[in-house]
Structure 1
């Protein structure tokens, strides 16, 4: 194998590797950012529901169950859909506590 062919082969492999890296790295960062943002929103909703529970005049069993589910989902640390589900449960619990007279 001549040196010229070897240089072209190595250059081609490096070019393909660089192309893959420039497409995969930003996609992975975007996916991680989306996951972190979803979990941040879920944690904020859980914290808000916890404050509403502490400020409520009395117990609301349905809200307690929703908050417990949200906290359980958050403890498992799933993906974006799990974070959204936890956020929805916490927001519903928050609404139930705020609707209480």
Structure 2
């Protein structure tokens, strides 16, 4: 009977150790994902403002912004957020460059 107590104690100790390691990792991963999507949405909004302010349409920038919005609509992880942010920033840069002349 004492061996059963030792085995149960070892299982509880292993589960507690795994929880102590996994919980902060999951929280950090969730925070990184939320931060990446926040940055992507901000970049998409900035590109949309640049598009509205542009006097001349720019097809490549429009295509990049559409890709960014499509990626954002599909959601995803960190990589998808970074891809959407990169597309939106490139579109924003193209519209700003076109506005300067």
Aligned residues: 99
Q: TM-score, normalised by structure 2?
A: 0.93
1:14 to 12, 15, 23: 12
Q: Unmatched 5+ residue regions in structure 2?
A: none
Residue 99 of structure 1 is matched in structure 2 by: 97
RMSD after superposition = 0.9
Q: Unmatched 5+ residue regions in structure 1?
A: none
Residue 40 of structure 1 is matched in structure 2 by: 38
Residue 24 of structure 1 is matched in structure 2 by: 22
The Cα of 1:9 is off from its aligned counterpart by 1.6
Cα distance in 2 for partners of 1:16, 1:78 equals 32
